[in-house]
Structure 1
Amino acid sequence: MLVTTRSRAAKLGAFVAGAALLLSACGGGGGGNSAVQTGQAFADCDKNPNTCNSAPADQLQQGGDVTYAIEKNVPNWNVISAEGNVFETGEVTKGLLPYTFYATPDLKPVLNKDFVDSAEVTSTSPQTVVYKLNPKAVWSDGTPFSADDFIYNYKVQNGKDCPDCAAASSAGYDQVKSVTGSDGGKTVTVVFDKPFTDWKLLWSSGGAMYPAHLAKQHGDINTPAGLAQSFKWFGTTVPTWSGGPWKISKFVNNQSITEVPNEKYWGAKPKLNSVIFRVITDATQEPTALQNNEVQVIYPQPQVDLINQVKQMPNISSFIGLGLTWEHFDFNLKNPALSQKPLRQALFTAINRKDMIAKTVGQFTNKVEPLNNHNFVPQQTGYKDTVSSTGQGSGDIEKAKKILTDAGYKLNNNQLSDPSGKPIPELRIRYTVGNQIRQNECELFAQTAAQLGVKVKVQSTDDLGQTTTSGDYDVIVFAWVASPFPFGGAIQNWGTGQGNNYGKYSNPQVDSLMAQANAETDQTKAADLLNQADQIMSSDAYVLPLYQKPTFIASSDKIANIRNNSTLDGPVYNMAEWGIRK
């Protein structure tokens, strides 16, 4: 999963992210999830999420430029690292990195045939997957895309070959016994120690692949130290290479990333001359940039005023959808006060999610309801309410106070003290700068905590990835942008020691149940096991799901083949197909 402001954190993933920042039913705004649709370009995106706003190639100009607004700079270019696992980084690198599967707007995984001709399970005991690579696939310097790339990216993410590679996740990779190449490197055979339910997650767009032949130039990839050295190099170095239809021609720090077609690409060539990712960290400035034609596409975190401004613009179409992006409050369990479960349970119980929704995203859509699971959304098979029974998110202040008094906490003169008599120190809650909805959510959290005698300071951050990975928060609000693979994603986010488990949650019983789910080939049984883990985690009050986060896209009517995609792949999933209408 990516963190979003992977994960892909965004945090894809955050892909965010994430996942990170990493999520089958209706999605990407499909299946009746639309609450706002203006203009004509996205008129049929509810019914046809994968094909709306389409135009055949002969109706597109050859050339032209599209500027696409992103809300964060790219300080780390390694999207499979914990720090680089940010949604915006995933967007920018989507056109550069090879990957096996990606998510379409209907939230389903699709094989990326530009890179992989086939991917099949050839044995279940042991589980074996064989990938046949596209023989035409090459990196931009002419080096063939091969099994070496699979092996390198496996090594830096399995948690064993490179202990110092701070990967976003080792989920699935840590269950692989071997990765071997044959047929001149164009066949990859993966054998698992134990079955992995979400095997399509591996080397997919939630993580993608970095070139092994370049890694060799920046470290001995047969040693842990050399792997770590190369892994770090990919994070600190702007890619001058590419393995996709686009390549970076110019990077201006904190301003823009310009991508142009990769002339070495073997697949369908982009029609556009360039796509420019313009960094606009203050979302309130995006409508003005759109109206002034400084950008032609925005994909902001939706805000009431922002959406209302866009609705008034001529020749601009917009769309709101719900997918697998979900908003949440997280505690940092390294904080001594928050390491105590009763305090966490009380704070989350006092939060009134319905009221919070009404005062934030409920201002522009009536489709959003409290989310009651950490791994599934209501459109997915497997969704089960694991939160309501705990009382968390209910806004029951009296119940919250009883949790505290029963545990020995005392409230005197609006100051809560722990059972030893020590006052609970002031907490810091963080949110992404410029995001008014998240600022409001943090202020509502602080107001609620004050009723329990806990002081909370609201503080923004302009680098969500660094803030989460360094643990520079007590409470934080952001969204996971997930992939279609909930089982591997669960371990990535909640497993002990996992890269996306920023708040350092650890419960051996949860780890065990997630591992069982992750190795169960029966999807129904896997979902049941994961929900058992989810019920325990809900009781532990580490993360409070708030709601499915609406996604909002607004675009010039001149741009064809761009559409909402409420997954970690985002609207850029098909960037090579974008074009300007004649």
Structure 2
Amino acid sequence: MNRSANPPVLRAAVALTAGAAMTLTACSSGGGAAGTAGTDIATVSRAGVRDGGTLRWATDELPRTLNAYQADADADTLTIAGATLPAMYRLDGHGSPRADSDFLASADVAQSPRQVVTYHLNPKAKWSDGQAVGAADFVAQWKALNGKNSAFWTARNAGYDRISDVRQGKDAQQVDVTFASPYADWKSLFSPLYPTSVTSDADTFNDGVRTKLPVVAGPFAVEAVDTKKGTVTLDRNKAWWGEPAKLDRIVLTAVPVDKRPAALAAGALDLAEIDPGAVTAVTGTKGLAVRKAPDAAYAQLAINGSTGPLADERIRHAVARAIDRKAIATAVLRPLGLPDEALGNHLVLPSQDGYRDNSSALGTNDVQQAQALLADAGWTRSNAKTGDQAAGGPGRTAASGAVTVVEPAAAVSKAGKQLTMRFVLPADSPTLDDVGTRIASMLSGIGIRTEITKVAGDSYFQDHIASGDFDLALYSWPGTAYPATDDTPIFAKPVPAPDGSLTVAQNYTRVGTDQIDQLLDRAGGELDTSAARDLTSKADARIWAAAGSIPLYQRPGLVALRTTVANAGAFGFQTPDYQNLGFRK
């Protein structure tokens, strides 16, 4: 079950396994067939949902914090925030922000002489301690997140650092937020909104809400975090002013992905995201069903351009041209009955409004052109033997996993060295095994030799991706409603640090250009939606041309659920309406 597609923290790159990128986002009233509105939800009218019950929901692990603005926040942090805290805007099935009327009656935007957003709050909105949700909460959150007070351990300050002032307007329900410079993604701010008791004190912000949220303002409240049982229990919030939650409680339970089908069949779970390989088993079990929709995330091939042959753009283009992205998308998605088109955009996904295919900036799958690019860079067919020295990037560490070598019939070489790519994959993923093998085979067709190394999932990113210890890798990024803000750290040009190292933020491929940075920066400050989309599209075209990241397909969202479960399923970008989750009458 997909969750918040626009998390406020640094977005985490994840392996392409089912449970790795679950980020809970919401159900307004609609469902829709898989692949149309980007959702597949077991939609039931509120009148058709029975009162009471406990929804047992599989999750990856217990959250390390309940503060969504800290670096160690994860998808489950966002799930809990979505059910318990205010959000001014939530996403619909097309990834577009919509005002949440339980908290926000309306918002006005003035653009001159400065951008000023005036929030008109729902007068009924209050915290569980009886205090009204108001300007004081906005002020405290802005000051905690704007980056000026280093005592607050924040993951990032995007947007909040552009605000020059926050204050109460003409009455207690009006909040005026003034920006020092235009900010197109202002709807991403104050979602979630924490109470002043959390954001006005650095110690509480940093450590005080790791396992509890004593004050909430949502249909649910945090009842307990049980580290021994691996559960987080959310109880119905008795102080909630909106339509009351249908469920008595939601119990988030840490269950490994491979054990979820058995737990569902045994009646220990009601709802769980699953791997593609488990679909047949689940659908063959009485009382269970699988909902399918494009997920709010995409799979990509990362090409490390920091050193070695791949520092040459011609080699990166040759690799990209050799890969049949359509064939890969078809292999992964068609058996699931999902749209199997290759992904043509890094910043906007096909189920979102404003999607454009900009892959022509790189070119199409063309083996002959790929071979010509290699030849132009001095790599030609040779009779070099397998044991000859390889010319990859930084040295590999084979001790972390077995190495599988995919040999071409006739390898290309330069100065007596074969062109070899170190392809690093997380272990225990059948989908990755298939995709990685297909890519290696396609590269062998143009004379590139690959060494596939599988490493443990808990060390995959820290020890390999983040450190740059790979030539090629497969991992995914969450989609976002705010690409100019959220995707800038992913594609920004790396800059030298004072100690001589490279500051890459989340640009693990180390490939970027000044033009990409400028286009994303302009998009982030463009208040005209159409103009902002044009700038974002131009930035995406330049990202394609740089050939550091090759999108493959929008990931499948596969959610197994008991057939009695109502208003849950594969949400895609859509934010769940927690008070309507439950069981059919």
CA distance in 2, matches of 1:507, 1:234: 41
Is the CA contact 2:141–2:199 (under 8 Å) kept in the aligned structure 1? no
Following the alignment from structure 2 to structure 1, what is the Cα–Cα distance between the partners of residues 72 and 379?
Answer: 37
Q: Which residue of 2 aligns with 1:172?
A: 159
Equivalence for 1:190: 177
Q: CA deviation at 1:403?
A: 2.8
User: Which residue in 2 is equivalent to 1:477?
Assistant: 474
For 2:85 and 2:175, locate their aligned partners in 1 and report how far apart those are by CA, in whole Å.
Answer: 18
| CA contact 1:481–1:567 (8 Å) conserved in 2 | no
- Offset of residue 372 of structure 1: 0.9
Please say if 1:580 is aligned against 2:578. Answer: no
Residues of 2 paired with 1:266 and 1:74: CA distance?
27
Counterpart for residue 137 of structure 1: 125
| Equivalent of 1:544 in 546, 550, 570 | 550
State whether residues 97 and 243 of structure 1, in contact with CA within 8 Å, keep that contact through their aligned partners in structure 2. yes
Given that 1:516 and 1:529 are in contact with CA atoms closer than 8 Å, whether structure 2 keeps it comes out as yes
Distance 2:379 2:391 in 1: 6
Cα-to-partner distance string for 1:416-459 (whole Å, 9 max, x where unaligned): 4278988878735244x654313432343445556513423122
Measured in 1, the distance between the counterparts of 2:31 and 2:459 equals: 28
Asked if 1:453 is matched to 2:441, the reply is no
User: Match of 1:515?
Assistant: 521
Match of 1:403, SS state, is helix
Q: Residues 381 and 96 from structure 1, CA distance in 2 versus in 1: closer, same or farther, beyond 3 angstroms?
A: closer
Q: Which amino acid aligns with 2:321?
A: T
Q: Over residues 309-358 of structure 1, what are the superposed CA-to-partner deviations in whole Å (9 max), with x where a residue is unaligned? A: 22223333332122543222234556666555344333333332223223
- Over 3 Å counting, the alpha-carbon distance change for 1:551 and 1:192 in structure 2 is same
The whole-number CA distance in structure 2 between the counterparts of 1:260 and 1:387 is 47
Distance in 2, Cα, partners of 1:218 & 1:308: 49
Percent identical among aligned pairs is: 24
Identify the residue that residue 286 of structure 2 maps to in structure 1: 314
User: Are 1:289 and 2:263 matched, yes or no?
Assistant: yes
Query: Match for residue 212 of structure 1?
Result: 196
Distance 2:86 2:212 in 1: 17
Higher mean displacement: 555-564 or 140-149: 140-149
Larger Rg: 1 or 2? 2
The answer on whether the counterparts of 1:325 and 1:481 sit within 8 Å (CA) in structure 2 is yes
Match of 2:318 in 1: 346
Q: Which of residues 213, 219, 230 in structure 2 aligns to 1:245?
A: 219
Q: Secondary structure at the match of 1:400?
A: helix
Distance in 2, matches of 1:498 and 1:579, equals: 44
CA distance in 2, matches of 1:463, 1:152: 37
Distance 1:217 1:142 in 2: 20
> In the alignment, what sits opposite 1:39?
none
User: Taking structure 1 as reference, are residues 131 and 360 closer, same or farther at Cα in structure 2, changes over 3 Å only?
Assistant: same
Unaligned runs of 5+ in 2: 393-413, 494-502
**1:489 is the counterpart of 2:486:** yes
> Is the partner of 2:108 in helix, strand or coil?
strand
Q: Which residue of 2 aligns with 1:280?
A: 255
TM-fit CA distance, 1:512: 0.8
Aligned residue number for residue 299 of structure 1:
273
Quote the Cα distance in structure 1 between the aligned partners of 2:460 and 2:223. 26
Q: Compute the TM-score of the two structures, normalised by the length of structure 2.
A: 0.79
Deviations 1:238-296 (A, max 9, x none): 54543322222232348322211233333332222211112222x23222222221111
Instruction: State the 1:510 CA deviation.
Output: 0.8
State the alpha-carbon separation in 2 of the partners of residues 90 and 180 from structure 1.
Answer: 27
Alignment of 1:438 onto 2:425: no
- Output the CA distance in 2 between the equivalents of 1:430 and 1:478: 8
- Residues 90-113 of structure 1, C-alpha deviations (whole Å, 9 max, x = no match): 224321232110013353322112
Asked whether the equivalents of residues 68 and 297 of structure 1 are also in contact (C-alpha less than 8 Å), the reply is: yes
Find out whether 1:148 has 2:136 as its counterpart: yes
Q: Go from structure 1 to structure 2 and tell me whether the alpha carbon gap of 1:453 and 1:560 turns closer, same or farther (over 3 Å shift).
A: closer
Task: Pick the aligned partner of 2:245 from 255, 270, 274.
Answer: 270
Instruction: Give TM-score scaled by structure 1 length.
Output: 0.79
In structure 2, the CA distance between the partners of 1:563 and 1:509, relative to structure 1 (3 Å rule), is same
The answer to whether the 8 A contact 1:28-1:567 is kept is no
CA contact (8 A) 1:103 1:483 kept: no
Q: Which secondary structure does the structure 2 equivalent of 1:580 belong to?
A: strand
Q: Deviations over 1:188-214 (max 9, x none)?
A: 21122333233222223xxx2333322
Q: Secondary structure at the match of 2:84?
A: coil
Query: Contact between 1:372 and 1:384, CA under 8 Å: does it hold in 2?
Result: yes
Question: What is the deviation of 1:158?
Answer: 4.0
Paired residue total: 538
Shift of 1:51: 8.4
Counterparts of 2:433 and 2:266, CA distance in 1 = 27
Residues 135-187 of structure 1, C-alpha deviation per residue, up to 9 Å, x if partnerless?
A: 443334445433333234334544555498452x5443343332233467643
CA contact (8 A) 1:377 1:383 kept: yes
SS at match of 1:150: helix
Give 1:468 deviation, angstroms: 8.9
**Which amino acid is the alignment partner of residue 191 of structure 1?**
T
For structure 1, list consecutive stretches of 5 or more residues without a partner in the other structure. Answer: 35-44, 220-229
C-alpha RMSD over aligned residues: 3.9
Judged with a 3 Å threshold, the aligned counterparts in structure 2 of structure 1 residues 514 and 389 are, in CA distance, closer, same or farther, namely closer
Distance 1:439 1:459, change over 3 A: farther
User: Which amino acid in structure 2 is aligned with residue 55 of structure 1?
Assistant: S
Q: C-alpha displacement at 1:131, in angstroms?
A: 0.9
3-state SS of the aligned residue for 2:579? Answer: helix
The aligned counterpart of 1:259 is: 234
Q: Secondary structure at the match of 2:570?
A: coil
Cα 1:166–1:131 shift into 2, 3 Å = same
Q: Which amino acid aligns with 2:555?
A: K
Q: 2:65 aligned with 1:62, yes or no?
A: no
Q: CA, structure 1 residues 110+260, in 2 after alignment: closer, same or farther (shift >3 Å)?
A: same
Can you list the C-alpha shifts for 1:542-563, whole angstroms capped at 9, x where unaligned? 2111112222223222222324
Q: Is this contact kept in 2: 1:446–1:458, CA < 8 A? A: no
SS of the residue 1:233 aligns to: helix
Alignment partners' CA distance in 2, 1:328 and 1:126:
39
* 1:403 counterpart (373, 376, 380): 373
Aligned residue for 1:125, secondary structure, equals coil
Q: SS where residue 260 of structure 1 aligns?
A: strand
Query: SS of 1:514's equivalent?
Result: helix
Is residue 2:187 matched to residue 1:200? yes
